[in-house]
A and B are shown apart, each in its own frame.
Chain A
């Protein structure tokens, strides 16, 4: 609750500690001075005014002291707030680990990530400002340890082409990427946002059209987006003009839905027969859907949001991009993992050792399940993560070990499972792809 306390402290500070409080004294001094000046200029009695000048010294001094006192009180309030600040962050003490900055030499790549982030967030204006601002200084400070190569001519293909084992293929020079890539990326994201805005206003046609154009890829991904969209369109029409606000024509309402189903559902018959059957049966209940067994299908209060998010996901996936901005996920993950790092570094500092960057972080960084994207297998024997070189192996009894562990366990060609009483020969173990 430290922050709430701080909120109160700050309020106290802003209410009391103000330089403008001292203004009154300055005004007073000016008044005193102007008054005597006028008097002095008007009368010509040097002796009288001389006395007044001498007498003026005191009130001015008092005012000045008062002025300084007010300033001091501002100063004191600021010091108090400084303490509040310290307590507010007190529990999280420990300094940010800034000595070792692996990102320092990666400006070009970070810039690229930021530009793509801005584009995918739909901030096209900011993105183009950024690209033009970040571009010109590609001479001296740029890192040149990688040899950058220009990928194949600038179309979406370069984005989605199969990842080749040679990294050079995916690295693009700082100057080049923005020129050719941002254009295509921007237009893709622009169309994504236009489709999304149609979806938000309950117009499904552009999304359906897009899904139909990309149906092969979507199907290969195991996505039902096209069918889900068509189904929603059917339900939407079914609801009739009262709900959907479309003109009351034969193309709308139950008859419109039926017509739509005839035209469009054919192509889905093999995959979604059951659902299509349900939808057509529901027609029978059209007067009292609410009490029919089909009412759940026709509850579309959340449906538009759902298809919008699954549309975004599929759209990005086809571009080879994750649905959430990776920059956002990574920065959030970083913030979540930071306490562990700070704890670790302060411990290391106390011991006088230093964290040398190896292949793996030296401490665990627990992330929420939504941020685990790959299955992770840690060998129960060696406690190491399996890799391409050391894949997980499944024994005939169903237990899984890393290959190296299995080889170490084995005596000759035979092994004994460390988790159950079975024994076997190594060649019966096989690689498993998790």
Chain B
């Protein structure tokens, strides 16, 4: 069934999976720019104001060393700007390299027109490697991800650094520390961006900090908890009324009472919740898809390939049951869904939808009820060195005479 639909490459649609690839460096580029702008703005204004102040104040005879000190401060500030700007420029350069490599990689696809193109295979292989590295990074398997990226030379196509930072913060949350996550929220313009997307991450982190203070010091230093609540929780009492009320009540309930409604606030599970909240906030902020793209590609790919035969309980009727004793494998190659790697994984995904039959051309049925394409039967007979006019069942090995075959009409 050589229908043409399946092999032609539809470039635009084929890159659906790859939008995030270009998105991330670009988001980082913007973030980098905003941070740079922020620094320049801040220090520039400072220098401008201090200069004005010094110049006008000088009239009224300020001591010379004060003026010098001010000038030194201004110079130091500007040197600071230079240093920071250099760092931002370097980061920009790095990100440009990433983006360039990625656009080039995606543009390569446009020189291929068919799935059967040899170049497509290597392109698609690189895509799989990218997806794998992404998956590994998202699961915190950083060493493997780094090793694979290096081995395949695709460092510019994957985001090892970004994810390593993320998994470090995630890990620290799982270990019960909010410091790193809070630092992330405060860095550069993240705070502003978080506010723009109505994220509750920072509040939740502060809330957790409060819970920890209450847990350890409610008895000894109740003021500390109160001060923290006043500073970080009180301003949000209207945005998060439920949490705020709970926070107030928490002061009265010490940890350790499993029956109380507050026990879940003291539970370890909150840290996992925070880690997940951080991950999803982080991903949204950088326009990263919420699930590994490998999942998307795999679940759909498994379905598209899966047929009822792949999990059939009669190994004889499957094309490539990985069985030894009856290794009469029909297909030239084992079906990927039948192959050990994916068989179990594919068990719970739906089958592909087919509205047409796909069978070999010129089907002939042997007297034992099995049907094969004419060409294959002939080839197999030749390979097996049979006499003319004889064929051999590719699976059972039975030999029949040609004239006992029956033509099959598949409509």
Q: Does A329 contact B (CB under 8 A)?
A: yes
Whether the Cβ atoms of B75 and A375 lie closer than 8 Å is no
Residues of A within 8 A of B109 (CB): 3
Distance, CA A177 to CA B129, complexed state (A): 23
Q: Does A241 contact B (CB under 8 A)?
A: no
Whether the Cβ atoms of A30 and B353 lie closer than 8 Å is no
Q: Which of A22, A56, A375 has the most CB of B within 10 A?
A: A375
Residue of A nearest to B115 (CB): A368
Q: A18-B92, A40-B71 are in contact. Are A116 and B341 (CB under 8 A)?
A: yes
Within 8 A of B (CB), among A84-127: 85, 88-89, 91-92, 94, 96-98, 101-104, 106-107, 109-110, 112-114, 116-118, 123, 125-126
Distance from A279 Cβ to chain B, minimum over Cβ atoms (Å): 15
Whether the Cβ atoms of A19 and B301 lie closer than 8 Å is no
Q: Does A64 contact B (CB under 8 A)?
A: yes
Distance from A179 Cβ to chain B, minimum over Cβ atoms (Å): 16
Distance from A20 Cβ to chain B, minimum over Cβ atoms (Å): 4
Residue of A nearest to B124 (CB): A332
Residue of A nearest to B386 (CB): A271
Residues of B within 8 A of A297 (CB): none
Q: Does B143 contact A (CB under 8 A)?
A: yes
In the complex, per-residue mask of A357-398: 1 if CB is within 8 Å of any chain B CB, else 0: 111111111111111111111101001011110000010011
Residue of A nearest to B372 (CB): A434
Distance from B264 Cβ to chain A, minimum over Cβ atoms (Å): 17
Q: Does A347 contact B (CB under 8 A)?
A: no
Q: Does B119 contact A (CB under 8 A)?
A: no
Whether the Cβ atoms of A54 and B354 lie closer than 8 Å is no
Q: Which of A67, A113, A341 has the most CB of B within 10 A?
A: A113
Q: Does A175 contact B (CB under 8 A)?
A: no
Distance, CA A82 to CA B29, complexed state (A): 11
A23 CB contact (under 8 Å) in B5, B89, B383, B407? B89
Residues of A within 8 A of B40 (CB): 22, 67-68, 71
Distance from B364 Cβ to chain A, minimum over Cβ atoms (Å): 10
B16 CB contact (under 8 Å) in A68, A92, A107, A430? A92
Question: What would 24 A/B residue contacts be, using CB atoms closer than 8 Å?
Answer: A3-B103, A3-B109, A26-B82, A41-B68, A46-B64, A57-B48, A75-B33, A78-B29, A85-B23, A102-B299, A103-B295, A112-B341, A114-B135, A126-B151, A162-B321, A322-B320, A322-B339, A329-B301, A330-B301, A331-B294, A334-B298, A365-B300, A366-B5, A368-B6
In the complex, per-residue mask of B46-84: 1 if CB is within 8 Å of any chain A CB, else 0: 011001101110110100100110011011001101100
Whether the Cβ atoms of A394 and B365 lie closer than 8 Å is yes
Q: A46-B61, A322-B339 are in contact. Are A110 and B333 (CB under 8 A)?
A: no
Q: Does B99 contact A (CB under 8 A)?
A: yes
Q: Does B232 contact A (CB under 8 A)?
A: no
Q: Does B30 contact A (CB under 8 A)?
A: yes
Q: Does B7 contact A (CB under 8 A)?
A: yes
Q: Does B262 contact A (CB under 8 A)?
A: no
Residue of B nearest to A4 (CB): B107
Distance, CA A73 to CA B115, complexed state (A): 42
Within 8 A of A (CB), among B192-233: none
* Residue tally, chain A, CB below 8 Å to B: 157
Residues of A within 8 A of B11 (CB): 2-3
Q: Does B190 contact A (CB under 8 A)?
A: no
In the complex, per-residue mask of A184-221: 1 if CB is within 8 Å of any chain B CB, else 0: 00000000000000000000000000000000010011
Distance, CA A36 to CA B327, complexed state (A): 90
Distance, CA A102 to CA B1, complexed state (A): 31
Whether the Cβ atoms of A430 and B369 lie closer than 8 Å is yes
Residue of A nearest to B12 (CB): A91
Whether the Cβ atoms of B334 and A23 lie closer than 8 Å is no
Residues of A within 8 A of B92 (CB): 18-20
Q: Does B408 contact A (CB under 8 A)?
A: yes
Q: Does B10 contact A (CB under 8 A)?
A: yes
Distance, CA A147 to CA B210, complexed state (A): 41
Residue of B nearest to A381 (CB): B411
Whether the Cβ atoms of B5 and A165 lie closer than 8 Å is no
Beyond A60-B48, A117-B341, A334-B298, 18 additional contacts (C-beta under 8 Å) are A4-B110, A57-B52, A96-B19, A126-B151, A129-B147, A170-B340, A321-B339, A321-B340, A331-B128, A331-B294, A332-B127, A333-B304, A361-B351, A365-B300, A374-B319, A380-B411, A385-B307, A432-B369
A376 CB contact (under 8 Å) in B19, B33, B359? B359
Residues of B within 8 A of A104 (CB): 291, 295
Residues of A within 8 A of B124 (CB): 328, 331-332, 335
Distance, CA A383 to CA B411, complexed state (A): 11
Whether the Cβ atoms of B15 and A92 lie closer than 8 Å is yes
Say whether chain A's binding surface is mostly helix, strand, loop, or mixed.
helix
Distance from A74 Cβ to chain B, minimum over Cβ atoms (Å): 6
Distance, CA A102 to CA B385, complexed state (A): 49
Distance, CA A366 to CA B355, complexed state (A): 10
Distance, CA A126 to CA B154, complexed state (A): 14
Residues of B within 8 A of A365 (CB): 300, 303-304, 352-353
Whether the Cβ atoms of A434 and B363 lie closer than 8 Å is yes
Q: Does A14 contact B (CB under 8 A)?
A: yes
Q: Does B85 contact A (CB under 8 A)?
A: yes
Q: Does B342 contact A (CB under 8 A)?
A: yes
B329 CB contact (under 8 Å) in A89, A317, A335, A388? A317
B323 CB contact (under 8 Å) in A4, A49, A163? A163
* Segment at the interface with A among B236-244, B251-259, B309-317: B309-317
The 9 closest A-B pairs by CB, nearest first: A320-B322, A334-B301, A326-B336, A373-B335, A334-B297, A330-B301, A339-B13, A162-B323, A322-B334
Whether the Cβ atoms of A220 and B336 lie closer than 8 Å is no
Distance, CA A378 to CA B351, complexed state (A): 13
Distance from B36 Cβ to chain A, minimum over Cβ atoms (Å): 6
Residues of A within 8 A of B86 (CB): 20, 23
In the complex, per-residue mask of A158-191: 1 if CB is within 8 Å of any chain B CB, else 0: 0111110101001100000000000000000000
Distance, CA A190 to CA B232, complexed state (A): 59
Distance, CA A126 to CA B304, complexed state (A): 29
Whether the Cβ atoms of A327 and B47 lie closer than 8 Å is no
Whether the Cβ atoms of B75 and A160 lie closer than 8 Å is no
Residues of B within 8 A of A432 (CB): 365, 369-371, 408
Distance, CA A162 to CA B320, complexed state (A): 11
Residue of A nearest to B2 (CB): A369
Q: A19-B88, A360-B350 are in contact. Are A326 and B385 (CB under 8 A)?
A: no
Within 8 A of A (CB), among B361-411: 363, 365, 369-371, 380, 383-385, 394, 397, 406-411
